[in-house]
Amino acid sequence: AQSVTQLGSHVSVSEGALVLLRCNYSSSVPPYLFWYVQYPNQGLQLLLKYTSAATLVKGINGFEAEFKKSETSFHLTKPSAHMSDAAEYFCAVSLKTSYDKVIFGPGTSLSVIP
Amino acid sequence: ETGVTQSPTHLIKTRGQQVTLRCSSQSGHNTVSWYQQALGQGPQFIFQYYREEENGRGNFPPRFSGLQFPNYSSELNVNALELDDSALYLCASSYLAGTSGYNEQFFGPGTRLTVL
């Protein structure tokens, strides 16, 4: 069975500091991997996706993630945190079967301290 | 291009009642998926509809059912509501072109359901 774990339910960083949100997945076959962001009282917005092309994926708002097969990881980073980055972040995995099913991790709440 | 919309925004029901949530897919999309997001958790896959038929389902009981209409709008119906059904319900639309490749899902803002 496929699953996603996110280390740290809450992460706090200072404005301007590095953001690192951790994600590990389990999958029997190479998956598609995603990071979504959710702002309060809003739906999910796709930050970036890995679909078996380049292992370093660049997304919106300065975020990027690196797919490491040997570590089954897909950590999300941003060099310099901004106040507007405060939100809930979800790592997700999808396998291409007869239908698209996205499995989400439990989420990490990011706080940015001024 | 119109994005994914959902209605209503908020809904309050009592235990045992039935509820219908609605979703309008993004233009050109032929697939809709529904997710349940309990407070403080990640979304959980309920089911997916493709060309008006259910083509995938998560671990949800039969009292969760759905419909997809020819215009690709969709409904999620939940019968015999339980307190644990209180959650944010998200729909996502995509264009399914075949059985290989990746089909990005675009999410709506969700419907917040409270069961008292």
Q: Give the integer Cα–Cα distance in Å for B12 and A59.
A: 37
A106: pLDDT strictly greater than 80 = yes
In angstroms, the first-to-last Cα distance of chain A is: 41
Q: Give the integer Cα–Cα distance in Å for B61 and B77.
A: 12
Q: What is the pLDDT of residue A17?
A: 97
Q: Give the integer Cα–Cα distance in Å for A25 and A8.
A: 15
Is A31 part of the contact surface with chain B (CB cutoff 8 Å)? no
Q: Give the integer Cα–Cα distance in Å for B31 and A100.
A: 9
H or E segment and range at residue B79: none
Is A101 part of the contact surface with chain B (CB cutoff 8 Å)? yes
Query: For testing the chain A interface, which of B105, B106, B114 should be mutated: the one with the most A CBs within 10 Å?
Result: B105
**How far is residue A57 from each of residues A48, A78, B115, measured CA to CA in Å?**
7, 12, 40
Q: Do B108 and A43 touch (CB under 8 A)?
A: yes
Residues 6+ apart with CB under 8 A from B69: B52, B75
A108: pLDDT strictly greater than 60 = yes
Query: For testing the chain B interface, which of A3, A9, A44 should be mutated: the one with the most B CBs within 10 Å?
Result: A44
Secondary structure (H, E, C), chain A:
CCEEECCCCEEEEECCCCEEECCEEECCCCCEEEEEEECCCCCEEEEEEECCCCCEEECHHHCEEEEEHHHCEEEEEECCCCHHHCEEEEEEEEEECCCEEEEECCCEEEEEEC
Q: What is the pLDDT of residue A3?
A: 86
Q: Express each pLDDT in A7-40 by its tens digit.
A: 999 999 999 999 999 999 987 777 889 999 999 8
B63 sits in the region (left: phi over 0; alpha: psi -120 to 50; else beta) called: alpha
Q: Express each pLDDT in A62-84 by its tens digit.
A: 999 999 988 999 999 999 999 99
Q: What is the pLDDT of residue B74?
A: 96
A41 versus A58: which is more confidently predicted?
A58
A2: pLDDT strictly greater than 80 = no
